[in-house]
Amino acid sequence: MDKKDTITVIDNSTGKELELPILRPTEGIPTIDVRALYRELGYFTYDPGFLATASCRSSITFLDGENGILRYRGYPIEQLAEKSTFLEVCYLLYYGELPNKEQQEAFNEDIRTHTLLHEAIKRFFSGFRRDAHPMGIMVGVVGALSSFFHDHENNVHDASMRQQAAHRLIAKMPTIAAWCYRYAHGLPFMYPQNDLGYAENFLHMMFALPTEDYTPPPLFVKALDLIMILHADHEQNASTSTVRLTGSSEANPFAAVSAGIASLWGPAHGGANEAVIKMLLDIVHSDNDVQYYVDRAKDKTDRFRLMGFGHRIYKNFDPRAVIIRKSCHDILEQLEPGNPYQELFDTAMELEKIALEDDYFKSRNLYPNVDYYSGIILLAMGIPLNMFTVIFALSRTIGWISHWNEMMQDPESRIGRPRQLYSGEELRNYAKLENR
């Protein structure tokens, strides 16, 4: 190995030296292979929150946080947002290339044939309280799917079985998501209508009534498709890493995806889109005292953060936020003047402007992320707040299952088993305390 392709670690307590290989990515930041460190020198590495740790090799998504770049399988997100459809992006993420016409048709057809849920699944819904959070229901119902597709789906080393699990998940997620909403509102479950497109079908299952005709508005169908494209994958984020870690024990893929949904729910991750709207509504109700909220976000004694702001990776801008802000603006222009969403959008723009001129946010590279404007679009579509993260989960399912599929084929993949820096008591003797 060329010396230039290694890093030398010197243990100053013993004088021992170790050459560690530098792994070069196709693009992005070189990575040190530390696997020999424990074996040769007897040390672990310490990196809470994985700030400097690559947990795997992956060829699915590329992020460059400094330059605001996001690419799926090499294609820039801006191009996919403009030209592609969500199902095309699903194909791209899972199979690695954009489909030709026949491949796309066959894929769409297979997704269409899996949209129904087993009738017994309905009974799971009725076990939940009507006011249950739909994310809680989704975690449960997707987890429950593992009991319906257990034996042969558990054969995770068979590519055709993995493909079938992936197609089932992509197909059934809109049905599950829409039924979470229907159940909470005491509405009858609408079955998928398979002559409709993917986003269209979801809106149909959300809003159609058995008593009248409903056609999902094309403006909202397009907007939802875009939101799904932008949320489809994002490299090794918390929920994707959760799916990988869960799946690394060769667990059932439906159970692994259910674990991903649970991770996504948190407000620091996918739950942020719901929190953003709550924050914007609070600001509007406070007579638009934007500065007060900016000051609160800067105050370290207050746990309040500007929701939809900041990102672990993006340090200049989140390319998804740029696309979604424009889409939000375009959609609002096409709605009736004086609609309530315009006020939220104006408040969001004002908050963004003040924050971006503030030293606190500038010095920490805090910018709006994908969740900052997406909620305004969803709200304008008539989707209630507690369904926002459900839509994120529905969109991210393709990312999760593509990573799971990639991991299953990776010869270097092993069960995930981090080590720790133990900080508890040293050996104690129970006998000494027997007469206490």
Q: Contacting ligand CMC (CB under 6 A), which of 35, 83, 312, 362?
A: 312
CB of 87 to ligand CMC, least distance (A): 22
Select 176 or 306, whichever has its Cβ closest to ligand CMC. 306
| Residue sitting closest to ligand CMC (CB) | 310
Select 178 or 275, whichever has its Cβ closest to ligand CMC. 275
Select 134 or 310, whichever has its Cβ closest to ligand CMC. 310
- CA 422, 426, 429: angle at the middle one, nearest 5? 145
Q: Is 311 a catalytic site residue? A: yes
3-state secondary structure string, 313-350?
Answer: CCCCCCHHHHHHHHHHHHHHHHCCCCCHHHHHHHHHHH
* Per CB under 6 A, 237 contacts ligand CMC: yes
Which residues neighbour 268 within 8 Å (Cβ) at sequence distance 6 or greater?
238
Q: How far is CA 330 from the centre of its chain?
A: 25
On whether the CB atoms of residues 132 and 185 are closer than 8 A, the answer is no
Q: Tell me the window of 36-44, 242-250, 301-309, 383-391 that interacts with ligand CMC (CB under 6 A).
A: 301-309
* Angstrom distances, CA of residue 34 to CA of 26, 141, 188, 307, 402: 19, 39, 55, 36, 26
Q: Tell me the window of 180-188, 277-285, 299-307, 428-436 that interacts with ligand CMC (CB under 6 A).
A: 299-307
CB of 33 to ligand CMC, least distance (A): 25
CB of 369 to ligand CMC, least distance (A): 4
Q: Contacting ligand CMC (CB under 6 A), which of 309, 341, 367, 404?
A: 309
> Is the CA virtual torsion 183, 186, 192, 198 positive or negative?
negative
* Per CB under 6 A, 310 contacts ligand CMC: yes
CB of 418 to ligand CMC, least distance (A): 18
Select 208 or 366, whichever has its Cβ closest to ligand CMC. 366
Select 208 or 378, whichever has its Cβ closest to ligand CMC. 378
Select 26 or 301, whichever has its Cβ closest to ligand CMC. 301
CB of 289 to ligand CMC, least distance (A): 17
Q: Tell me the window of 81-89, 119-127, 131-139, 302-310 that interacts with ligand CMC (CB under 6 A).
A: 302-310
- Among candidate residues 133, 167, 311, 403, the one labeled active-site is 311
Q: Contacting ligand CMC (CB under 6 A), which of 305, 329, 343, 358?
A: 305
Q: Is 167 a catalytic site residue? A: no
- Among candidate residues 11, 269, 295, 358, the one labeled active-site is 269
Select 237 or 242, whichever has its Cβ closest to ligand CMC. 237
Q: Contacting ligand CMC (CB under 6 A), which of 52, 120, 209, 268?
A: 268
* Per CB under 6 A, 229 contacts ligand CMC: no
Kindly state the number of chain residues that form the binding site for ligand CMC, as judged by CB under 6 A. Answer: 20
Other residues' Cβ atoms within 10 Å of the Cβ of residue 268:
12
Q: Contacting ligand CMC (CB under 6 A), which of 307, 332, 379, 383?
A: 307
Burial 4-23 (b: 16+ CB within 10 A, else e): eeeeebeeeeeeeebebeee
On whether the CB atoms of residues 276 and 375 are closer than 8 A, the answer is yes
CB of 388 to ligand CMC, least distance (A): 12
* Per CB under 6 A, 234 contacts ligand CMC: yes
Q: What's phi and psi for 126, nearest 5 deg?
A: -70, -10
Instruction: Please state, in angstroms and rounded to a whole number, the distance separating the CA atoms of residues 399 and 196.
Output: 23
Q: Contacting ligand CMC (CB under 6 A), which of 114, 118, 182, 269?
A: 269
Using CB under 6 A, which residues numbered 363 to 392 contact ligand CMC?
364, 366, 369-371
Q: Tell me the window of 28-36, 161-169, 243-251, 304-312 that interacts with ligand CMC (CB under 6 A).
A: 304-312
* Per CB under 6 A, 223 contacts ligand CMC: no
Q: Contacting ligand CMC (CB under 6 A), which of 162, 311, 325, 403?
A: 311
Residues that bind ligand CMC (CB under 6 A): 234, 237, 268-270, 272, 297, 305-312, 364, 366, 369-371
Positions marked catalytic: 269, 311, 371
